[in-house]
Structures are given as C-alpha cells and as structure tokens.
Amino acid sequence: MIPDNITNALADGTVPVDSMTNTPGTNYTTLLVLRELESHAVFTTNGQDADITSLPIIDGDESIEYSPGLMFMRKQTGSDRRTGKAIQRELLEYERSDSMDVNDMNPQSVESALYGSAASGDDDVDIGVTSRVMYDTAFTVRDASACIDEKFQNAPGEGYAKGSTANIREPDFFEPGTLFPCTITLRDATPAEVAFVTAITSRNKRYGAATTRLGRVNNRVLGLYTGSEEGCSNRELTAETIVSFASEGDRTLGDIVQAPVLNADQAATFVREAYDAACAEEIAQAPVDDEILDEILTLTGDEELQTVLETQQSHSQTFIDDAIAADEN
C-alpha cells in the first residue's frame, strides 16, 4: 500500500487507484534519469553500426553541430519491460501467464495494463492496451567519436600452427562512462504504478545487445515531477547539459563533446538543473520533494514492492475488465 503522504505528493500527476479510466487525461508524472554506462554496451539497429545522428548546440554566440550516439526508445522500454515482468512473476500470482511474447501477454496484469499489450485473439480477454509509460530516444552527451569504439578480432581456430586470417569486425561499442540524460513519463498512472516504474528503473542494470556480457548501466534517478503536460525532451536536456559543462570552466562546446571523459556527478547536477529550469519557465510541471522520492525508492525492495503491487493488482484487472465491457457495448 502506498502511504498517504506519497499519494498526496503525487496527486497533481496521477489518478487515484480506484479512479482508473480508459479515457485519457492530463495527469503526467516524469522520472528524471541519468543513464551511466558501467561497461561496454552495444546499441544498434542493424546489428553492426551504432546509431548516430547530428544535432546543433547553441550557447549565445557559440554554436556547434555534433554527432551523438543514440539509445533508441525500444532499447530502453524492452529491457525495462523484461525486468518488470520478471519482478511481477516473482511477487504476484496469476492464473494466466504474462510474457514478452505478443501472443502470451496478460492485459489484466499490473505490468501489461501499464506498459501495454497487443490484442491476442483470446476469447475472454481480446483487447489491445496502449502503453501509459512514455520513453524517448536518449542522446550521448559526448560526440560518437569520443564515446564509441570500433573493434576487430581474429578467430584463427585452435591449432598451434595457423594461416593468416582476416579480421572480423565486431559491433560498435559504447564506452564505459558514456552518459545518457533521459526521462520516463507516466500518463494517468496511479501512485502504485509510479512506484513500480521507479523500482524497475532502479533495479534494471542491463541494456542493449548481449546483456550477459555487456550493457551494464547505472540508472541514476535524479528527480520526480508531476503536472498537466509532458516535460522537456531528452534532446533539450542533453543540449543544456553540454552548455552547462562548457559554462563551468574555460572550455568550448566542442571541448565538451570531444572530452575523453565527463564527470557523472556534475552531469547529474546539470541535468537536474536543466529540468528544474524548464519547469520554472516553460512546462506545467513541478518537482516532487526529494524526501518523497527517497521514500518511493525505499519501496523498491521485494517485500515493500510486493505490498504495493498486490494493492494495485485488482485495480489493474478491473481497469481492463471495464474497458472490455465498454468495447463490447
């Protein structure tokens, strides 16, 4: 069960657990995160090349264009969903299975009712559910040339004597220490669902390809915000973080994006300051007190989270049952 002080603190961006509705509203809660690579990672859509784009950065009279590496939204939500379903299997009991297989999702589960599921053709629960958790592509603070490495390997076999062999190119690797400022936004979620996504974010440690050997990530949860609209974009957060780094010392924007390493603690401060400034000047969101966020983070352990999810479980099922009934009428 979610304590009343947390429910009250999240009221401007959530819906009461007994008031979940199939009609979209304007209740937004944003989790501000800095993803920091703790090992090499592979983020690619073609299996070989890192995903890269070009973005302008402007700071007064100075402007540059740099080429950040990308962590597409699918790389984030896919990994988070697998973590969420694993947590759910451990802590909740369902008669029907709920996996990442599109034909084996249970739309009535807490995870699928929140993150979405496709209609499976099941006679009893044949309904598609739109996700109420929004992700966006994340951008590296540094240029791809500074944080992505192209590696080659030889595969000559086991014999003592070997002939010459061609080098085999491995996929592009993002280097440890690479930083991705990003947001996760929930729409019309309950306080328990916010706690669930916070737990998934704090507990998930692997993203990208070959996660048994690569892709270790530290998700730094920097802040929680509520309001009547979605917050600023990952692109804006990344650009403002670069500008803040350059403003701290006698360095140019180009120095920052080509830096061999950037201090993650400083980056966390700059990302938080950028989002706070956007709330004050542009968007209809306000920060939740850090004490409340810290209390939500204490609910991420198995025992505490199980209580939260068991309270949410029947409401998620009722939410889907009501949608099915409305669809049949």
Instruction: Give Cβ neighbours of residue 329 (< 8 Å, ≥ 6 apart).
Output: none
pLDDT in tens, 287-316: 999 999 999 999 999 999 999 999 999 999
Position 327 pLDDT exceeds 90: no
- Lowest-pLDDT choice from 124-138, 157-171, 207-221, 243-257: 157-171
> 103 pLDDT band (50/70/90 cuts)?
confident
Task: Name which of 9-13, 75-79, 157-161, 298-302 the model is least confident about.
Answer: 157-161
Residue 169, pLDDT > 60, answer no
Label residue 96 by pLDDT band (50, 70, 90).
confident
**pLDDT band at residue 165, thresholds of 50, 70 and 90?**
low
Window from 16-30, 162-176, 179-193 with minimum mean pLDDT:
162-176
In the 8-state DSSP scheme, what is residue 158? S
Q: Which range is most confident: 102-106, 164-168, 206-210, 270-274?
A: 270-274
- The torsion angle over the Cα atoms of residues 192, 269, 183 and 209, rounded to 10 degrees, is -110
pTM, two decimal places: 0.91
| pLDDT at 102 (0 to 100) | 77
The larger pLDDT score, comparing residue 62 to residue 103, is at 62
Residue 164 has pLDDT above 60, yes or no: no
Residue of 218, 187, 175 lying closest to 33 (CA atoms):
218
Q: Give CA–CA dist 318/181, Å, rounded.
A: 36
Average pLDDT taken over every residue of the chain: 90
3-state secondary structure of 108: coil
In the prediction, which pLDDT does 170 show?
66
Secondary structure percentages of the chain, helix, strand, coil, to 5: 40, 20, 40
Residue 266: half-sphere exposure toward Cβ, Cα within 13 Å: 16
- State the pLDDT at residue 151: 59
Distance separating alpha carbons of residues 255 and 253, to the nearest angstrom: 5
The residue-averaged pLDDT of 270-286 equals 96
